[in-house]
Structure 1
Amino acid sequence: MLELRNLTKSYNGRTVLHALSHQFAAGEFVAIMGESGVGKSTLLNLVAGLDAPDSGEVIVDGQPMSALDDDAATGLRRTRMGFIFQAFHVLPHLTLLQNVALPLLLNRAGLARAGEMLAAVGLAGRGDDFPRQLSGGEMQRVAIARALVHRPALVLADEPTGNLDPETAAGVLELLRAEIKASGASAIMVTHSHAAAAQADKIYVLTRSGLKLSQKGV
């Protein structure tokens, strides 16, 4: 599903990632941990094609990201990837149903699944509500529904529970895992939280020397 080949990325003369190589299996939910500044979010941006490596290659679904022009890369993100962020990025001027339906509209797909996904994340009957009426945990549930509504092959989550209290975070993570497994998607979650990482099938620690599998995944 996803392969990293000798990825290297530097900013302002400082190497963040160096010759990183790894293969992620289809259908796996993987957590990546590591110290601040080690390159976890940078790695997600490279996988998504939002940034380009200095050298090396990201292969998604057999396609090298470097071989895609901007339109093709956008199309790949739109159809094959789903994104969940710490800051939710739920659009305040749209209803919950409209927020969840955005990927379907962009992909010119039927909208019925938007309502189904809202129900799946425990927000049935709330489609006409607006984000201002929600708690943080509920907004993250909307973000999960939006990320999965178009059945992406790869879900990328960047600190998805960083703004939530521990109890709410636990519920959101259980939901995220259940929905990922139900859809058969692969998922990579960057997190500082050991509780969050425990929901993954495997935990990797990103260091200057690469990705190391933790005891959780053995």
Structure 2
Amino acid sequence: MHPADSEISPALECRRLSKAYGSGRVVLDGLDFALGAGEFVAIMGDSGVGKSTLLNLIAGLESADSGEVLIDGAPISRLNDDAATRLRRQKLGFVFQAFHVLPHLTLAQNVSVPLLLNGMPPAPALAMLAAVGLDGRGDDLPRQLSGGELQRVAIARALVHRPRLLLADEPTGNLDPQTAHEVLALLREETKATGAATMMVTHSEAAAAFADRVLILSDGALHAAASLASFNASRDR
């Protein structure tokens, strides 16, 4: 959290968050973490350490064994299903590797979905498409777009309702390196422009390089990465 954010609640707080599975495997062990508005954080770590579990706990899709998650000060981990769904609709945005655009809807309609779910007018969808470099493409269908363009639509849809927190799970995993670079630059730019806090899970050093902070998930906790090179050297031992 930046000093300027100290007088307002962080976009995301994880307090003593713990999770283990039936086998006894601990994936999160009393994790404490905060993320401020406009901050872009990359989470890295080996496969199976719990990165996806962490995202699911933050989104309220899984329950922690102990601890709590607060989104914009609201404890999503203590809400009932209906209240948690409303909080996700209003406060969260999601960008995934597989895009998840709806093939039968136009680009404008796809981007309008979060607005409609929140009872908001759809007008901002076209401006958001323009912001991600798809001006004039609102009537196109997803089948007319490249992979990079589809991810731009996904970013526009995730940010159009001005969420407090954006969760991105391997957002460039299906893209070639040049397109991935362009999409990540856009994701960072729009994070700063909208003031959303962004948590990105990635295996890619190139993707993590766009973040303000890189954190490594290991042994149930998040650790600041001295450098990506040192992280990779530790994995190779």
Give TM-score, length-normalised by structure 2.
0.89
SS at match of 1:57: strand
Question: Paired residue for 1:5, among 15, 25, 33?
Answer: 15
Instruction: Give 1:60 deviation, angstroms.
Output: 1.5
Moved runs in structure 1, 4+ residues, more than 4 A? none
1:169 paired residue number: 180
Question: Paired residue for 2:27, among 3, 10, 16?
Answer: 16
Instruction: Give 1:6 deviation, angstroms.
Output: 1.6
Q: Deviations over 1:139-198 (max 9, x none)?
A: 000000000000001000000000101000000000000011000111100000011011
Matched, 1:81 2:92: yes
Instruction: Give 1:107 deviation, angstroms.
Output: 0.8
Taking the aligned partners of 1:65 and 1:127, their CA distance within structure 2 comes to 34
Matched, 1:35 2:46: yes
Residue type of the partner of 1:8?
S
Residue type of the partner of 1:130?
L
Answer whether contact 2:168 2:200 (CA < 8 A) is retained.
Answer: yes
SS at match of 2:128: helix
Taking the aligned partners of 1:196 and 1:105, their CA distance within structure 2 comes to 31
**Structure 1 residues 94 and 198, CA gap change in structure 2 (3 angstroms):** same
Instruction: Give 1:200 deviation, angstroms.
Output: 0.7
Question: Paired residue for 1:155, among 166, 169, 173?
Answer: 166
Taking the aligned partners of 2:150 and 2:142, their CA distance within structure 1 comes to 7
Answer whether contact 1:137 1:168 (CA < 8 A) is retained.
Answer: yes
What aligned pairs does 1:81-120 form with structure 2 within 5 A after superposition?
81-120=92-131
Q: Deviations over 1:89-143 (max 9, x none)?
A: 0111111110000000111111111000111111111111111111110000000
Residue type of the partner of 2:189?
A
2:134 paired residue number: 123
Instruction: Give 1:67 deviation, angstroms.
Output: 2.4
Taking the aligned partners of 1:95 and 1:207, their CA distance within structure 2 comes to 41
Taking the aligned partners of 1:216 and 1:91, their CA distance within structure 2 comes to 38
List gaps (5 residues or longer) in structure 1.
Answer: none
Residue type of the partner of 2:82?
D
Answer whether contact 2:27 2:220 (CA < 8 A) is retained.
Answer: no
Answer whether contact 1:202 1:216 (CA < 8 A) is retained.
Answer: no
Taking the aligned partners of 1:24 and 1:31, their CA distance within structure 2 comes to 11
Which has the larger displacement, 189-198 or 23-32? 23-32
Instruction: Give 1:63 deviation, angstroms.
Output: 1.5
RMSD: 1.3
Instruction: Give 1:216 deviation, angstroms.
Output: 5.5
Answer whether contact 2:68 2:78 (CA < 8 A) is retained.
Answer: no
Taking the aligned partners of 1:78 and 1:210, their CA distance within structure 2 comes to 28
Answer whether contact 1:155 1:185 (CA < 8 A) is retained.
Answer: yes
Answer whether contact 1:100 1:142 (CA < 8 A) is retained.
Answer: yes
Residue type of the partner of 1:4?
C
